[in-house]
Chain A
Amino acid sequence: EEQLLESGGDLIKPGGSLRLSCAASGFTFSTYAMTWVRQAPGKGLEWVSTISGLGGHIYYADSVKGRFTMSRDNSKNTVYLQMHSLRGDDTAVYYCARDVLKEGTSYHYYGMDVWGHGTTVIVS
């Protein structure tokens, strides 16, 4: 079964740092881009960052650019979100999701079809 399991959420003071992890299982991890999406309390969904399968391309929302760094370790089937200079408006549930599939030189998009249960970050 394809699964994603986030961890690392915590209560952290403003200005602090935190690293989130998302461990994947049940699929060929390195062939998929991965994405972080967050949801502030009582609010909608916000795209945060996407990383390509081999990690060569990374994209960020303006709200986190320069403060957050997304990375992956394909030997561990895990993606990370390193967060620095945390602010109150970073308080949210952070979800990771499976994204674009790359097969050979072709890209296939079937939606963000696998999501984790989320991990909670509270900046206060």
Chain B
Amino acid sequence: DVVLTQSPLSLPVTPGEPASMSCRSNQSLLHRSGSNYVDWYLQKPGQSPQLLIYLGSNRASGVPDRFSGSGSGTDFTLKISRVEAEDVGVYYCMQVLQTPRTFGQGTKVEIK
């Protein structure tokens, strides 16, 4: 199975400042199509997960442009250009290249 390792597990952030988190895979998630089969989801406190980024770098509909996804192969990054208070929650990466699909353990973002 593909193992995704996220870091850091906890990320204290300051509103207005940038933030960045990592997702590393033990196998390449680069599909022959050229897309990287990794998504990013945010689960706000008490809510269902919501899609932020799909196939590595594509922002989902309605997602603010302060969120961006990058990386290729085994190393991926989610960046928030300027954190807002509403961005708190747990961020998960997930690979959709292989079955079983697998999630990272999550990065918890909190306001300092």
Residues of chain A touching chain B, judged by Cβ–Cβ distance below 8 Å, are 35, 37, 44-47, 50, 59-62, 95, 97, 109-113, 115-118
State which size class the interface on B falls in.
20 to 34
Separation of A116 and B47 alpha carbons in the complex (Å): 10
CA distance A110 to B53 in the complex (A): 9
A59 to B1, CA, bound (A): 14
Give the distance in Å from the alpha carbon of A37 to the alpha carbon of B43 in the complex.
Answer: 13
Chain A proximity mask over B39-67: 1 for CB below 8 Å, otherwise 0: 10101000011110111001011000000
CB-based contact A59/B99 at 8 Å: yes
User: CA separation between A37 and B41, bound complex, in Å?
Assistant: 13
> Closest Cβ of chain A: how far from B18's Cβ, in Å?
23
Q: Which residue of A44, A97, A111, A116 has the most chain B CB atoms within 10 A of its CB atom?
A: A111
Which single residue of chain B is at the shortest CB-CB distance from A96? B48
Do B106 and A61 touch across chains, with their CB atoms under 8 A apart? no
**Quick check: A45 and B92 within 8 Å, CB to CB?**
yes
Taken together as a complex, chains A and B put the C-alpha atoms of A95 and B48 apart, in Å, by: 8
Given known contacts A62-B100, A111-B60, A44 and B50 CB-to-CB distance under 8 angstroms = no
- 3 closest A-B pairs by beta carbon, nearest first, are A111-B54, A47-B101, A111-B51
